[in-house]
Amino acid sequence: MQRKTSFVKLFRALMPRHYGTIKPKSCSSNSSSTTSLHSHASSSSLAAYSELPPNVLSEWIETLENPFKLWQLRQISKEAAAQITSRFSHIKQMDVRRISFDNIVLDFDYESGEVEFEENVWYFHPAGHRVMARFPSATSVELVVDDHWSSKDVVALHESISMFRLSVEQIYLDAPVVELAVNSNDVHIAIERSTSTGGEIFFPCGREISIRTTETDSSHLARFFH
């Protein structure tokens, strides 16, 4: 990927080698684990980042391709948070799919959280849930979740979608994802909503929402667009 440079390899060599607690499907997972990205940010790792010179940290943030790690790094400082928020604000397109994770973990890199899938590099959710993400470009993000998702995977996916929901304008969702994106009676997926009915619009900048669905799934989708 173009944004990955020799700088990234050099930077990794300087950082602690333990990378969070990523546990893909084939690994055992602690049943008491939480889905929170904040909870799974390594304090030692964050401390090491915070000691970097501002210009080095800034360059690292600009070259880092792991969406989950970027979200965690907002905790380092106000400057880091502002830079990451600015970078995320440029994400205008989001695609969320359900896929089979059966063969994904074959080429998994535990140190970086990277995995090869569909001839691209993806990143696992750091809590070990069956959710992956990547940036296809500087203005788009893709998320995938295992089609045999658990309740914790659903929460992790909702959290991941929420990282980008305030800026995205074009949204592509598999039908089963729609319901978890609007899991509150006060949150609506409609692009526009009258002031008389109230409620929060889940994608406030959304101008095009496309749902991939089957005839069976379509029958219960209408209620989310009222």
Q: What is the mean pLDDT of each run of 10 residues along the chain (226 residues)?
A: 42 36 37 50 69 88 94 92 96 96 72 84 89 97 94 92 96 86 57 58 91 72 56
Both tokens assigned to 198: 């109230």
Give residue 178's identity as a one-letter amino acid code.
Answer: V
Cα 140 from Cα 65, distance rounded (Å):
12
Closest CA to 166 of 223, 204, 218, 211: 204
Cα 24 from Cα 117, distance rounded (Å):
14
For residue 171, the model assigns a pLDDT of 96
Q: Which residues of 21-40 are buried (b: 16+ CB within 10 A; e: fewer)?
A: ebbbbeeebeeeeebebeeb
DSSP readout, 183-207?
-STTEE--S---TTT--EESSTT-S
Helix intervals (H) in 36-195: 43-50, 54-63, 67-73, 78-89, 151-162, 175-181
Closest CA to 22 of 1, 37, 11: 37
pLDDT, tens digit (0-9, with 9 covering 90-100), for 50-103? 788 889 889 989 999 999 999 999 999 999 999 999 999 999 999 999 998 887
pLDDT, tens digit (0-9, with 9 covering 90-100), for 138-150? 999 999 999 999 9
